[in-house]
Amino acid sequence: MAWTFFSLQMAFESRPDDTWRRHVRNAIVSGQANQDAEDKRRFYQELVPLLVGRLPQLRRVAWDLQRTASTQADFDEWVTDLEDSSDVEPPDPTAAEQEARHVVVTLLVLAAGGGNADQALGEACDFPEDRWLKRQSLARILSVVPMLSFSSVRSDAVYLQPGRGLPGMTAEELEEGWVDMALVED
C-alpha cells in the first residue's frame, strides 16, 4: 500500500517557566494511548489552537509531505529518533540562564495514500513555494490536522522537547536543518 508521511517541527521561543509549555504538555499527555478517530479529533482540536496562537513566537521550522516508497520507513525512523533523543541529558541550566530558550513541537502523520487524510494534507500543503514558510501558511496546515479523517491515518505522533522541567534548547542548538523564521517575512 502507498503511504503519505507528513512531518512538521516547530521551535517556539519559550522560557522554562512559560505557562504555555505546561498547557501544550498537558494537552499531549492527556491523550490516551489508544484513541479512536473521535478521540484523535478532540485531541488535535485542543492542541492545534495552542500552536497556532503561538506562531508569533515561532523561531525555527521544518516540514515535509512525502509520497514515496520509503514513507513508512521514514515515519518509523522519525519516531525512533525522537524517542531516543528524549533520553538525552539536559543542558547545564547554569550555562545560559538569561538566554532565550526554545521548545520543539513535532507532529507526524502516516496516512493511507489516496485516502481522505492524504488528500486533505495534500490540499493544505498545496501553495506556491514562496509561501511555504509563512506563518499564515503554517496556520493553514495546522488547521487541517483536527479535521483529518483518522480512519485513513495509520499512525500519528506528537512530541514535545525538551520534556518537563528542562530549560529548553538555545538558538545555537537549533541552527542545523531548520529555517530561521526571522529571515522569512510574513
Dihedral sign for Cα atoms in the order 8, 10, 16, 18: negative
Write out pLDDT tens, residues 68-92. Answer: 888 889 999 988 888 876 644 445 5
Residue 21, SS3?
Answer: helix
Write out pLDDT tens, residues 29-70. Answer: 886 667 888 889 999 999 999 999 999 999 888 899 999 888
Write out pLDDT tens, residues 128-160. Answer: 888 888 889 999 999 999 999 999 999 999 988
What is the per-residue pLDDT for 139? 94
Predicted structure pTM score = 0.84
Strand partners, 179: 61
Percentage of the residues of the chain whose pLDDT score is greater than 90: 41
The domain ranges of the chain are: 3-183
Say if residue 99's pLDDT is above 90: no
Measured from the Cβ of residue 162, the count of other Cβ atoms closer than 10 Å reads 20
What is the per-residue pLDDT for 169? 64
Q: Is 34 exposed, middle or buried (0-12, 13-18, 19+ CB in 10 A)?
A: exposed
Residue 150 in contact with residue 117, Cβ under 8 Å? yes
Nine-digit cell string for 174:
537549533
Report the distance separating Cα 121 and Cα 91, nearest Å.
Answer: 36
